[in-house]
Chain A
Amino acid sequence: MIRYIIKRLLYLIPVILCVSFLVFALMDLTPGSIVDSMIPSDATPEMKQAILEQYDMDKPMLYRYAKYMYHFVQGDLGKSDISGESILNMYLTRLPNTLLLAVTSLFIAALLAIPMGIRAARHAGTLTDTLTTVVTLIGMSMPAFWLGLILLFIFSFQLRWFPAGGNMGFVSYILPSVCNGLNMMAGTTRQTRSAMLEVLNADFLRTARAKGVPERRVIWKHALGNAMIPILTTLGGNLSTAMAGSVVIESVFAWPGVGRLTAEAIMSRDTKLACGAVIMTTILYVVMMLLIDLAYAFVDPRIKARYVRAKKVRRRAVS
């Protein structure tokens, strides 16, 4: 298992290198960079040359990328072109907001989606099932920002229950989490329903019932345990996307998270900040995806057994 984790972690290195190169190259190509705007229109060729040299603009892009990555691995992402603050600091102060929001949304989504999906699957073809399908289809089709605005209008402006934006403690988490959670809920419910439908007619459930296992345990342990992999995949995908910053939801609720930081950096042409934020977020995203892959082994003993067996076989081969 540990060997596998190390192998997967090593595999992340080329992925991160390629992604960072791609993002760096794209950002480097952006016309109208901060260096261009620093050159006055009446600059002499020497002045122009001096400014270009100061920012290594006279050297090839590959050189600038190598230099950037050399500093990057040392934790130095440079300073923002606009505010002059350290980019790593800016990112890290915003990150907890995004992470907490992602976790609370996931919690809401799982809490709603799994029981709903199970109910729909157990009563497949009935009115409950149809209603669930309709609700999830609408949930999947609703733009997150629109749902956010509707929630804001009802709960913040009309009922005045929650603040309209920013992070002011616990109450501020509720609306964005509910909005994000409802958005995630739709896909997860559908996935839970179809995964449960696949296992509900399985022989082992009949055996469990014949043994006298209570129905509640049959469904929640025996059936759900076997349907967990696809549900986990959907939830995990949602979590990684939310951790990468739900740009739109953070923008609606004026949430001080990394998604909004990235969007603002891109819009204000703060190339360095945008580049650093996108690369950091991507690293976070791939690491999350890896963790979800590893979580499969904990949920499903069959997958875990595969790792363990591989190890045993290898040991036997060595001895």
Chain B
Amino acid sequence: MILNALSISMIFIGAISVFLTVWGGISSLFLYKKWGVSSTPEERTSLEDRSYLVLLIMMIVLLIRLINWPLFYGTLQSFIHDIEGAMCIFGVTQVKPSLTLFLEYLKPITFFLIGGWLILHFLDRATKTSPLMGRKLLLLSVISLFVLIDSVGDILLMIGIAPGTLVSCCTTVTDIANRPTRTTPESLLGPQYAQSIKILYFVTHLLLIGVVGLVLKFKKLGNTVPWRRGILAFLFLFAMVNGILFVISQIEVFAPSMMHLPFHHCLYCLWQYVPDSIVMYLLFILGTFSVGWGFTTELFGKRGEAADLLPGYLRKIYWFAFFFLLASLVMLIIHLLVD
């Protein structure tokens, strides 16, 4: 176990999260089952009071868990000097490869779910009758499960990483000729795949920004807009495809170019050699997730009083998506021009 300020924070946040999500998850499931079942006014008031307490505490836990994702990478970065052979985060991930990989996939999913839930929560709080309370409680119990697994994983990982472990770093894995990010596009696009990926990424990214811009053009994104749900679902899918292309193009083309290391394809090295790329990634993630959050808000937020407020919320969410995606693209272009 490597002890530093960040690993202690991770363990502390993990332990608190485990305790509170077990309580919050079970409580929210219990409250969901009771919610809407006719009862006496006293019972109803008690149920509402308990729901607000659970929601308040869980909201704080979830907000902290949002920070946990970047904190996770910050902590792994802080371990580099204690792991023999590690020159970037990749080396640290090789100490407990399966668990780290699992957490690396779980964290963005949890982040997305938490973000989606928080938007739903804020939408519901803006109403007087809380029409989304039942859905919120049910979703909260599901998200609690993800947070619980994530928190236990964090604790196990922090305890399991032993200082002085000898590992091989990224050079021996990310740069091999038969890496999937090279072989797959090469088989589809031919030997000049790098150039094609670059163009493809710019086209899809600009198209995504354009379509989000078009969606914003619908003055109020009102409930009468035909096929709204279908359009937003398509946008979400498109954003995910764009996300996959972003990752492949970063590994194969942009990261080596930004690092001035044409044969090195490690994204963790990019974050360390070109620190502002972290901001670019953050903007891209927030932009892509905002598109998804727009869809989930449309999916779960169209009920009762909340349905009237939904268009305004959707507009804000897509405005953020538009801005974040554009900002990440501008950062990438500036970097490529400077290089």
* Chain A partners chain B: no
